[in-house]
Amino acid sequence: MRKSILNTLNSLEAQLSKIHPIVDLLEKKSNSTAKELRDWLAETEELFKQSNLAEASMFAVKRGELSTYHPENSQHKRKQLLQFCSSLLTDAQGDVWKVYARLKDTIEKAKVSVKQLLGVIYQTKQFKYDVKTDFTQFINELWQFCTMHEQLRGITAQIQSLVNKTDVLLLIAEEIEIENL
C-alpha cells in the first residue's frame, strides 16, 4: 500500500525545520553538534524508511560517514569535525529538499487533476451539499461516484496513479467549492 504523500511532506517540513538548531550549534562550535547531527540523520533515515523512499540508504551512509570520521590533524580535531558536520549537513539538507520538491510536484499535479474533476462535477449538478451531512462522508460519496462514472474514470485513474486514496480525499476536501455544487 502506498503511503500518504501529504503526511510525508508534513514530516519532511518538520525535519527541515530541525536544521536551524543544528546550524546554531555549528555557529557556537558546540561539542554536541556531531551528536545532534547524527540524531537528525537517523530521524530522517527512519522517516524515509517509513515512507518507503529509497533515499533512506543515503542517510544511512551519511550517518556512517559521521560515525567513522577521524580528523587528520590532531591539533585541530574539533574544527575539522565541525567543518565535516557542516558539509554533511549541507549535503543532507539538499537531499531532503530534492525529495520534498519531487513529492510537492506530485501533489501539485494531483491538485490540478482534482480541480479538473471538480469542474466536471460542478457542471453535472448531481451533488448538493447539505450542512447536516457529514463532510467526510460527502467527500467519500463524491469520490466513489467519480470512480464508478464511466466518463470520469480516466481522470480518476490519473489521480490515483499520483496519490493514494487518503491524499485524494484530502485534496478534494481542500479544493472543493461547495457553493458551486
Cβ atoms of 19 and 44 closer than 8 Å: no
| pLDDT attached to residue 126 | 84
pLDDT per residue as tens digits for the range 52-87: 999 999 999 999 999 999 888 778 899 999 999 999
**Domain interval for residue 94:** 5-105
> Mutual orientation of helices 33-50 and 19-27 as an angle, nearest 10°?
160
% of the chain exceeding 90 in pLDDT: 87
Residue ranges of alpha helices (H) inside the chain are 5-17, 19-27, 33-50, 56-68, 77-124, 135-148, 153-162, 165-175
The domain boundary residue, chosen from 50, 85, 105: 105
For the record, the C-alpha cell of 54 comes out as 529509497
Residue 105 has φ and ψ, to the nearest 5°, of -65, -40
| pLDDT attached to residue 71 | 84
Co-location of 119 and 90 in the same domain = no
Co-location of 101 and 120 in the same domain = no
The domain boundary residue, chosen from 105, 129, 147: 105
Co-location of 86 and 129 in the same domain = no
The domain boundary residue, chosen from 52, 83, 105: 105
**Residue 179, Cα to own-chain centre: how many angstroms?**
31
| pLDDT attached to residue 76 | 87
Torsion of the alpha carbons at 30, 33, 36 and 40, rounded to the nearest 10:
140
Co-location of 32 and 76 in the same domain = yes
Co-location of 93 and 115 in the same domain = no
Number of domains the chain is built from: 2
Residue 80's SS3 state is helix
pLDDT per residue as tens digits for the range 21-39: 999 999 999 999 999 999 9
Co-location of 85 and 136 in the same domain = no
Co-location of 72 and 110 in the same domain = no
Co-location of 16 and 100 in the same domain = yes
pTM value surpassing 0.75: yes
